[in-house]
Amino acid sequence: MAQKTLKNLIHPVILCGGGGTRLWPRSRRSCPKPFLPLLGEQTLFQQTLARASDGAVFAAPIVVAGGDHVSLIEQQAEGLDAGHLIVEPCARNTAPAIALAAARLDRDAVMLVCPSDHFIADTRAFVEAAKAAAMLARADWLVSLAITPDRPEVGYGYIKRGEALESGYRVEQFVEKPVLERALEFLTDGSHSWNGGIFAFRAGALLDELAKHRPQMAQLVKDAVAKGRLDGMAFHPDAAAFAAIDGESIDYAVMEHTSRAAMVPASMGWSDIGNWASLHDALARDAQGNHAPEGSELVDCTDTLVVSDGPRVSALGLKGVCIVIDGGEVLVTSRDAAPHVGKLSGAKNQ
């Protein structure tokens, strides 16, 4: 039941997994990060679709999501093609999600895997990088869009650049989240990039590498698709087969094992909006580094973010603080602690 490949077009595969507890209380399990208008009027999911909508470059998108979010997707994505919404029976991390889409595509289709909850400021740079990555993918490279770092981030994995290829580089090494000292080296040595979770694969090449490194997962995905059923725009893989998969990320399952890993460097104003401090960085800020809605008042504050769904916030003498009011919940976190918002019982027990 593979889809027809449109020759030379890139097939966007939009992943809508993830709980998004780190943007609590704005992001909730019932409406997680991709489906919120965190930056601008469109949601991050809508922006992801729009970014890959140029019909001269991209084919119709495929969306992979959990059943809880089907109605949000139907509201926010108009006119997905029949079978282009793949509904995961349960969450099994990125490798099975990506493999589902690959198995639904023609083996020669080039897919571009895009998380739906990232922000990219420069769409043009994104499209150029996607085209370069697709060129390598057609030659059976498994390609990661490699984000040029702008800070010594210790929360991401890194990719080390190897020899030059036609439109990118071979990956010399995947590097686990570094300590600050190494992250500072990576920032200046020019050969390390962030692994941002955006990938280009020829569908058949991805499935072949998965079969090589994770044969059981590959077989279960194949079974789940073979026994799946189509229902309008939604395709439902077989629940039993999919549930039997041992969930794993695409990095661990394939990218770190394949000998065909490649990278295309991309400087495109990327942010994973991983927490309130990242969102703050992606928003327009005043000369003091503050961002606040109209009606709120900040006096003698620097690097301070205010997000409110109604109540006025008055802030005084703060440095590097995020204040978020949503649905009757009040969160106040230092920017430094923002990555740990998921620790709060409010975020955990939604």
In the complex with a second copy, the residue whose CB is nearer, 146 or 331, is: 331
Answer whether 77's CB lies under 8 Å from 49's CB.
yes
Tell me whether strands 158-165 and 192-202 are parallel, antiparallel or unpaired: antiparallel
CA distances from 151 to 120, 194, 289, 320 (A): 16, 10, 17, 17
61 cis-preceded (ω within 30 degrees of 0): no
Q: Cβ closer to a second copy: 279 or 315? A: 315
**Shortest spacing between CB 315 and a second copy, in angstroms:** 5
User: To the nearest whole angstrom, how small is the minimum distance from the Cβ of residue 154 to a second copy?
Assistant: 16
Minimum separation from the CB atom of position 234 to a second copy (A): 36
Nearer to a second copy, 62 or 347 (CB): 347
At 44, the amino acid letter reads L
**Nearest-approach distance from CB 32 to a second copy, in angstroms:** 18
DSSP-assigned letters across all residues of 51-76 = HT--TTTB---EEEEEGGGHHHHHHH
CA nearest neighbour of 130 among 204, 49, 58, 45: 58
**Nearest approach, Cβ of residue 261 and a second copy (Å):** 37
What is the 8-class DSSP label of residue 176?
P
CB of 141 to a second copy, least distance (A): 42
Nearest-approach distance from CB 331 to a second copy, in angstroms: 5
Residue 114 CB neighbour total at 10 angstroms:
24
Report residue 154 as tokens: 């210790």
Pick the closer one to a second copy by CB: 146 or 313: 313
CB nearer to a second copy: give 246 or 297: 297
Q: Please give the C-alpha separations between residue 127 and each of 16, 110, 182, 266, 270, in angstroms, as whole numbers.
A: 20, 14, 31, 10, 13
Nearer to a second copy, 249 or 334 (CB): 334
- Smallest distance, Å, CB 75 to a second copy? 29
Kindly tell me which of 147 and 341 has the beta carbon lying closer to a second copy. Answer: 341
> 99: exposed, middle or buried (C-beta count within 10 Å: 0-12, 13-18, 19+)?
buried
Binding site for a second copy (CB under 8 A): 25, 297, 299-300, 308, 311-319, 321, 323, 325, 328-334, 336-338, 340-341, 343-347
Distances (CA, A) of 161 to 67, 96, 168, 263: 38, 27, 9, 7
Q: Which residue lies nearer to a second copy by CB, 286 or 297?
A: 297
